[in-house]
Amino acid sequence: MSQKLKKKKWEEISDRAKKLNEESIFIDAHNHMMFEYAIREALGEKDIFDTHYAPELQSGRINMIGTSIGSNSPCLSNLTDDLVFGCFEQIDMLNRAEKESKFIKICRTTDDIIETANENKLGVMMTFEGSRVLEGRHGEESLVMLRILHRLGLRMNCICGAARTAFADGMGEVVADAGLTTFGVKAIKEMNRIGMLIDLTHMNDRSYFDVLEVSEKPVIVSHIGTQHICPNPNNLSDERILALGKNDGVICLEMVKTEIKHKAEETGEVVTFDNVVDHIDHIVSLIGIDHVGIGLDFDNFELVHNVHRAMSPFPGSIEGFYTGVPKGDHMLDDPNNLSEAYVIAEYLVNRGYSNEDITKILGGNLLRVFRETIG
């Protein structure tokens, strides 16, 4: 590390930041603990959530995480190519965790989230990152899986990972330049109807704007940066940000270095949440404070250092698309993991955000969107 970084312990942050952490409902919209959780279960560990994840979240003052329980590839579907089966196994895992854990509560409604925070429990909302699990028999355009998974607790659906789904293409699939499919349109309408929050992270341009035309409810982008600050192809263009503002949705900022500071992994420079605030400033300047949230996309666990690439057949490949091999730690230097997430409020305080604004960023905006979508 070329620059020196003085990291603050909880005791060292300002009283104002402490108070904000304690009084806000702090939501991390995107998390990948289930990958490591599944491995721990396979290794025969007991009380996994309370031993490993609860202390981290409590230390970070996070009240709820949206955790991926299914996806387009084995890394997020309980290590199996049989994506549907892997997804259902992970749902079962979470339900068993809820029974044995002192802290965990599966959140299905906005009130669940608020109660969870009030009871000092830790909320988990089931989400997807890539929706192949929902596809069903091809050509049939059946919404059965969507409704079943909703009944089982799925509340946020990030429709795309890198690759193609029956609904829309991910940003890895730039070549086809395709919009939303007819099935995609049906699924958007059904998600609006049953109360499932649509997440447009990783979606290609055409489909992204198609969804914003079709959806009658606000949507989110659960983990991302902005291209204006960091020209990573995954990040949001201003056009996308403006469109999302019109939709009244929320953009959640993440802690993956390469999407926050351009080529940071190569230069080895220190990247902190201060750099993330650059993105937040930019979004606020375009569409205002009501459209910013947090979705850290933390995937650097003790047993698996890079979840997304963990089941990859080639180094650097995700869902068949090459995304580069990270050098060293690909998470922000500060906070470097969820247990340090309390520092986010401190960075926001230092950059002049008001208490009201910070409360919105930490979770208030997401709560508004949850209220309007999942109920």
Please report, as ranges, the residues that interact with other proteins according to CB under 8 A. Answer: 72-75, 81, 83, 132, 137-142, 163-164, 166, 169, 172-183, 185, 206-207, 311-313, 317-321
Report in angstroms how near the CB of residue 179 gets to other proteins at its nearest: 5
Report in angstroms how near the CB of residue 75 gets to other proteins at its nearest: 7
Give whichever of 202 and 368 is closer to other proteins, judged by the CB atom.
202
My answer on whether omega of the bond before 335 falls inside 30° of 0, hence cis, is: yes
Report in angstroms how near the CB of residue 164 gets to other proteins at its nearest: 5
The three-state secondary structure class of 210 is helix
Give whichever of 27 and 203 is closer to other proteins, judged by the CB atom.
203
Report in angstroms how near the CB of residue 139 gets to other proteins at its nearest: 4
Query: C-alpha 298: how far from its chain's center?
Result: 8
Give whichever of 21 and 157 is closer to other proteins, judged by the CB atom.
157
Closest CA to 240 of 202, 285, 275, 205: 205
Q: How far is CA 224 from CA 63, 229, 308, in A?
A: 20, 12, 15
Decide if 311 contacts 79 (C-beta within 8 A). yes
**Exposed / middle / buried, residue 28 (Cβ in 10 Å: 0-12, 13-18, 19+):** buried
DSSP per position, 241-261: HHHHHHTT-EEEE--BGGGTS
Give whichever of 99 and 138 is closer to other proteins, judged by the CB atom.
138
Report in angstroms how near the CB of residue 322 gets to other proteins at its nearest: 10
Name the residue with tokens 């490949």: 317
Give whichever of 49 and 183 is closer to other proteins, judged by the CB atom.
183
Give whichever of 79 and 349 is closer to other proteins, judged by the CB atom.
79
**Exposed / middle / buried, residue 62 (Cβ in 10 Å: 0-12, 13-18, 19+):** buried
Query: C-alpha 354: how far from its chain's center?
Result: 25
Amino acid making up residue 247: N
Report in angstroms how near the CB of residue 88 gets to other proteins at its nearest: 16
**How many other C-beta atoms lie within 10 A of the C-beta of residue 130?**
28
Report in angstroms how near the CB of residue 185 gets to other proteins at its nearest: 8
Give whichever of 161 and 249 is closer to other proteins, judged by the CB atom.
161
Report in angstroms how near the CB of residue 131 gets to other proteins at its nearest: 12
DSSP per position, 165-192: -SS-BBTT-TTT-----HHHHHHHHHHH
Name the residue with tokens 């603990």: 33
Give whichever of 169 and 259 is closer to other proteins, judged by the CB atom.
169
Q: What is the C-alpha separation between 15 and 369, in angstroms, rounded?
A: 29
